Amino acid sequence: MLSDCTRQIKDKESWLPGVLPQEGDVERELTSLLATAALVRGALQAIPVPEGAEERSHARYTAFIEQQWQDRRHQHEQQRPWPSTLGSWLRVVFTLGRRR
Protein backbone atom coordinates (compact mmCIF):
# COMPACT_ATOMS: atom_id res chain seq x y z
CA MET A 1 0.00 0.00 0.00
CA LEU A 2 1.57 3.25 -1.14
CA SER A 3 1.20 6.48 0.77
CA ASP A 4 0.11 9.72 -0.92
CA CYS A 5 3.66 11.06 -0.79
CA THR A 6 5.02 7.91 -2.40
CA ARG A 7 2.40 8.11 -5.16
CA GLN A 8 3.39 11.71 -5.91
CA ILE A 9 7.05 10.74 -6.05
CA LYS A 10 6.20 7.77 -8.26
CA ASP A 11 4.52 10.15 -10.70
CA LYS A 12 7.71 12.26 -10.86
CA GLU A 13 10.02 9.27 -11.11
CA SER A 14 8.05 7.29 -13.68
CA TRP A 15 11.23 5.73 -15.10
CA LEU A 16 12.15 4.02 -11.83
CA PRO A 17 9.70 1.09 -11.78
CA GLY A 18 10.90 0.02 -15.22
CA VAL A 19 14.45 -0.61 -14.04
CA LEU A 20 13.51 -2.90 -11.16
CA PRO A 21 13.76 -6.64 -11.67
CA GLN A 22 10.36 -8.30 -11.48
CA GLU A 23 11.49 -10.84 -8.91
CA GLY A 24 11.46 -10.53 -5.13
CA ASP A 25 9.65 -7.90 -3.09
CA VAL A 26 9.25 -5.28 -5.83
CA GLU A 27 6.84 -3.07 -3.87
CA ARG A 28 9.17 -2.75 -0.87
CA GLU A 29 12.21 -2.09 -3.03
CA LEU A 30 10.28 0.44 -5.12
CA THR A 31 9.19 2.32 -1.99
CA SER A 32 12.79 2.45 -0.77
CA LEU A 33 14.10 3.66 -4.14
CA LEU A 34 11.35 6.25 -4.47
CA ALA A 35 12.22 7.63 -1.03
CA THR A 36 15.88 7.82 -2.02
CA ALA A 37 14.97 9.54 -5.30
CA ALA A 38 12.84 12.09 -3.42
CA LEU A 39 15.68 12.78 -0.99
CA VAL A 40 18.23 13.28 -3.77
CA ARG A 41 15.88 15.44 -5.84
CA GLY A 42 15.06 17.57 -2.79
CA ALA A 43 18.71 18.00 -1.87
CA LEU A 44 19.68 19.01 -5.39
CA GLN A 45 16.85 21.49 -5.74
CA ALA A 46 17.55 23.00 -2.32
CA ILE A 47 21.12 24.01 -3.22
CA PRO A 48 21.19 27.43 -4.87
CA VAL A 49 23.68 27.40 -7.73
CA PRO A 50 25.20 30.83 -8.43
CA GLU A 51 25.22 32.02 -11.99
CA GLY A 52 28.38 30.99 -13.80
CA ALA A 53 29.39 28.47 -11.13
CA GLU A 54 29.32 25.53 -13.53
CA GLU A 55 31.55 27.32 -16.04
CA ARG A 56 34.05 28.32 -13.32
CA SER A 57 34.09 24.80 -11.94
CA HIS A 58 34.68 23.36 -15.41
CA ALA A 59 37.52 25.83 -16.04
CA ARG A 60 39.17 25.00 -12.69
CA TYR A 61 38.85 21.26 -13.36
CA THR A 62 40.30 21.59 -16.85
CA ALA A 63 43.23 23.64 -15.56
CA PHE A 64 43.83 21.11 -12.77
CA ILE A 65 43.83 18.16 -15.17
CA GLU A 66 46.15 19.99 -17.56
CA GLN A 67 48.56 20.78 -14.71
CA GLN A 68 48.49 17.15 -13.54
CA TRP A 69 49.23 15.96 -17.07
CA GLN A 70 52.16 18.38 -17.44
CA ASP A 71 53.56 17.43 -14.02
CA ARG A 72 53.42 13.73 -14.83
CA ARG A 73 54.97 14.27 -18.25
CA HIS A 74 57.77 16.33 -16.70
CA GLN A 75 58.30 13.74 -13.96
CA HIS A 76 58.39 10.95 -16.55
CA GLU A 77 60.96 12.84 -18.62
CA GLN A 78 63.15 13.32 -15.57
CA GLN A 79 63.00 9.63 -14.69
CA ARG A 80 64.21 8.39 -18.08
CA PRO A 81 67.64 6.75 -17.72
CA TRP A 82 70.41 8.26 -19.80
CA PRO A 83 70.87 5.16 -22.00
CA SER A 84 67.25 5.51 -23.08
CA THR A 85 67.79 9.15 -24.01
CA LEU A 86 71.11 8.36 -25.70
CA GLY A 87 69.47 5.50 -27.60
CA SER A 88 66.74 7.80 -28.85
CA TRP A 89 69.28 10.31 -30.14
CA LEU A 90 71.40 7.62 -31.77
CA ARG A 91 68.32 6.24 -33.52
CA VAL A 92 67.59 9.71 -34.92
CA VAL A 93 71.20 10.18 -36.07
CA PHE A 94 71.40 6.77 -37.79
CA THR A 95 67.99 7.21 -39.42
CA LEU A 96 68.99 10.61 -40.82
CA GLY A 97 72.39 9.22 -41.86
CA ARG A 98 70.85 6.38 -43.88
CA ARG A 99 68.55 8.67 -45.82
CA ARG A 100 71.42 10.77 -47.18
More confident residue, 8 or 52: 52
**Per-residue model confidence (pLDDT) at position 1:** 46
Exposed/middle/buried for residue 19 (C-beta within 10 Å: 0-12, 13-18, 19+) = exposed
pTM given for the model: 0.35
Q: How confident is the model at residue 2 (pLDDT cuts 50, 70, 90)?
A: low
Mutual orientation of helices 4-12 and 26-46 as an angle, nearest 10°?
70
Phi, psi of 49 (to 5 degrees): -100, 115
More confident residue, 99 or 37: 37
Q: What does the pLDDT look like over 12-71, one tens digit per residue?
A: 666 666 666 677 676 777 777 777 877 887 887 777 878 999 899 999 999 999 999 999
